[in-house]
Amino acid sequence: MQRIGVFVCWCGSNIAGTVDVKQVAEMLKREPGVVFSTDYQYMCSESGQNLIKDAIKEHGLTGVVVCSCSPRMHENTFRKAAASVGLNPYMVEIANVREQCSWIHKDMPVATAKAVILGRAAIAKVHLNAPLTAGESPVTKRALVIGGGIAGIQTALDIAEAGFPVDIVEKSPTIGGKMAQLDKTFPTLDCAACILTPKMVEASQQENINIYAYSEVDEVKGFVGNFSVKIRRKARFIKEDLCTGCGLCTEKCPMKKVPNEFNLGMDNRSAVYIPFAQAVPKVATIDANYCIKKKTGKCGLCSTVCGVGAIDYDQKDEILEEKYGAIVVATGFNPISVEKFDEFAYAQSPDVVTSLEYERLMNAAGPTNGTLLRPSDKQHPHTIVFVQCVGSRCDAKNEKGKQYCSKVCCMYTAKHAMLTREKYPDTDVYVFYIDVRTPGKNFDEFYRRAVEDYGVHYVKGMVGKVVPENGKLKVQASDLIANEQLHIDADMVVLAAAVEPDKSARPLATMLTASMDTNDFFTEAHPKLRPVESPTAGVFLSGMCQGPKDIPDTVSQASACAAKVIGLLAKDKLTGNPCVAHSNELLCNGCSSCEKVCPYGAITYSDKEFRMPDRTTAVRRVAEVNPAVCQGCGACTVACPSGAMDLYGFSNQQIMAEVDAICK
């Protein structure tokens, strides 16, 4: 029989205002096993905790029940207090008589009766509690950052500066990501390259950072503190250590008609290429899909001109295996394909462009060297219509588009409109919007400037149809405020396409057993309180992969993410949560139900030999839980049809005892 102490907290008037705390303490004193029961004004205060500690010592308590607020608030406080006087912290149970009782009832007798019942349930559980000890595992002091955009770069820099080694894996030939393609950044209008490229250079020079560009993650094994990752270094057909980035090969390459992805296919590059002038690492890459030598065996011009002998046509993909303590996902985003939205005639006219394409058309390193020319005839456009929310905020019943707001479009459209009016005051600029959403420091001021100082025509309403006819784009739209239909003959139409997570995110999430939402954004451990951690221990989230966000938000989150990683890597050992699942091998029938529902990949199966009653041995497939990976969610215990899975600290027996106590 346990010797249980009951401590009923008033929480000032929060509990005592609705619950007769004295009566609760009195009633619970009569429960079997309860040797001490009292109430106090603030149990979480220093003196309240001392009350508990003294009672444990004085009455030799083996279990403690605190009737107070939610265990999310102070369970840890009371467990620590108990541990300080030698009681196993897992012998402490909380009866939540605040959130689940006093705050939701008005009638004192009702609330008091309920508080007693909740106390009884906790007492019933404590009777079945057993001391639990958390296990320990070592931490590999190295981080992996997947994705080398601004999010990945910032996270890597912060971790590296704290003294831990970091590897960045980036699938394209250079780091920099989407930000490298942007012209100017809101709300300050400084040039994106000017603020990004110093960070790219810093990342390449930081001695703790190792960049694996043109590489992808092939396999992830292990768990928090002990990940083992296979990285595929894709063949560039260039020896990275020899290439000086002089660019001679790219000049001489005879295959010059490869759509240039950096400029979104609006101009061409050569088959051997360096994506842009400030690429990091600045080495060339041979595009095997277009290289004449790779395709026909003839040519080889680049290897003739290369002064350092860096060309290697026979290079093969290489697989590296590295160990990491933490993994950061920074896989970023892409604008959606607008082909499903051809009411805007994107497929029909080159003068209908996406905002990212417009960004390149405005950029000095873009296909028009920064002069705004419409793609069809290279003439200066005089009327430009911007359409917002293309594919964002769509109805769930709609056959296309995303339901969420992409968050960045209102601001970059205001930026485009303003920059266009500033550079080309003879241009008429229209912006069609559903709402203009500009929360953020200096954001609304920015948008007001576009309207008030730059004379951009903001029209509330959507564009219904764009008809290319006789060299013009006939735009039909509604003006909801004037309640009239508008017809505008435009020279260009710019579509603010919704953002979506990069396609690589979904297979990566499967490898990491990290959860995603229906839009393929990674889910955070808690939407408010743990926004940069994945529910999977040791996996952290940085940037757009977690949800739409602009550069300031991305950089903030990237640094927050780094802080969490540093916190993890600073530890020599990890103390686990002892409330994990375990399987009774004698009951397990090997059905895999638990493995399928486990969101963390903590359950594996193995064949084990068992002695049978008739003294023979039999090999059976049974489940095994890795306690370092298990987060104690309990999904497996519910899924297990034979009752073999159980959770320490929340066993089926303990839960049933609580239910029995409530229903008594």
Taking alpha carbons only, the member of 640, 642, 652 closest to residue 586 is: 642
Min separation Cβ 462 and another protein, Å: 14
- Please say whether the beta carbons of 512 and 495 come within 8 A: no
Least distance in angstroms from the C-beta of 489 to another protein: 13
In the complex, the smallest distance separating the C-beta of residue 412 from another protein, rounded to whole angstroms, is 24
Minimum CB distance to another protein, residue 470 (Å) = 5
Q: Which is nearer to another protein, 340 or 448 (CB)?
A: 340
Cα separation values, 281 from 236, 306, 626, Å: 12, 18, 39
Q: Cα separation of 355 and 652, whole Å?
A: 56
- Give min distance, CB of 382 to another protein, in A: 20
Residue 464 vs 590, nearer CB to another protein? 464
Smallest gap from residue 469 Cβ to another protein (A): 5
Of the candidates 564, 511, 522, the residue with the CA atom closest to the CA atom of residue 546: 522
Looking up tokens 């002892």 gives 578
**SS3 of 263, please?**
helix
* Smallest separation (angstroms) from another protein to the CB of 387: 14
| Cα–Cα dist 645/121, whole Å | 23
The candidate with the shortest Cα–Cα distance to 393, out of 549, 498, 520, is: 498
Query: How is residue 414 written in tokens?
Result: 């205001």
Contact status, residue 250 vs residue 284, Cβ threshold 8 Å: yes
Q: Which spans in 424-530 are helix H?
A: 443-452, 505-512
For residues 427 and 384, is the Cβ–Cβ distance under 8 A? yes
Q: How far is the CB of 380 from another protein (least distance, A)?
A: 23
Cβ atoms of 523 and 516 closer than 8 Å: yes
3-state secondary structure 417-432: HHHHHHHCCCCEEEEE
Q: For residue 336, what is the DSSP state? A: P
Tell me the two tokens of residue 189: 């209008």
CB of 467 to another protein, least distance (A): 4
In the bound state with another protein, the residue whose beta carbon lies nearer, of 445 and 469, is 469
Smallest gap from residue 237 Cβ to another protein (A): 38
Residue with tokens 């970091």, as numbered in its chain: 166
Residues 6 or more apart whose Cβ sits within 8 Å of residue 409: 355, 388, 389, 392, 496, 498
Q: Which residue lies nearer to another protein by CB, 349 or 534?
A: 349
Shorter beta-carbon distance to another protein: residue 399 or 609: 399
Cβ distance to another protein smaller for residue 314 or 339: 339
3-state secondary structure of 228: strand
Nearest to 629 by CA among 322, 324, 227, 321: 227
Both tokens of residue 530?
């743990």
In terms of CB distance, is 374 or 582 closer to another protein? Answer: 374
Cα 259 from Cα 302, distance rounded (Å): 19
- Residue closer to another protein, measured from CB, 398 or 519: 398
Q: For another protein, give the closer residue by CB, 71 or 468.
A: 468
Q: How far is the CB of 345 from another protein (least distance, A)?
A: 5
Contacts of 469 (CB under 8 A, 6+ apart): none
Q: Which is nearer to another protein, 321 or 342 (CB)?
A: 342
C-alpha dihedral sign at 138, 139, 141, 142: positive
Q: Minimum distance between the CB of residue 518 and another protein, rounded to whole angstroms?
A: 18
Residue count of the chain, please give it.
Answer: 664
3-state secondary structure of 435: coil
Tell the smallest beta-carbon distance from residue 468 to another protein (Å): 6
Residue 495 CB, nearest distance to another protein (Å)?
Answer: 13
Q: Nearer Cβ to another protein, position 258 or 390?
A: 390
Q: Which amino acid is at 297?
A: G
Structure tokens at 204: 């390449």
Closest to another protein by CB, 401 or 538: 401
Three-state secondary structure call for residue 76: helix
In 239-382, DSSP assigns E strands to 258-259, 268-269, 272-273, 285-286, 318-324, 326-329, 333-335, 352-354
The least distance separating another protein from the CB of residue 527, rounded to whole angstroms, comes to 31
Residue 29 vs 340, nearer CB to another protein: 340
* All residues at 6 or more sequence positions from 289 whose CB lies less than 8 Å from its CB, including other chains: none
Which pair of tokens denotes residue 469? 């006819």
Closer Cβ to another protein, 23 or 476, answer by number: 476
Nearer to another protein, 340 or 526 (CB): 340
Residue 404's identity, in one-letter code, is Y
Residues forming the site for another protein (CB under 8 A): 339-343, 345, 347-348, 399, 465-470
Close Cβ partners of 628 (under 8 Å, ≥ 6 residues apart): 135, 137, 223, 224, 225, 226, 574, 576
Q: How far is the CB of 126 from another protein (least distance, A)?
A: 51
Nearer to another protein, 80 or 400 (CB): 400
State the distance between the two ends of the chain, measured CA to CA, in whole angstroms. 20
Which helix H or strand E contains 185, and what residues bound it?
A: strand 184-185
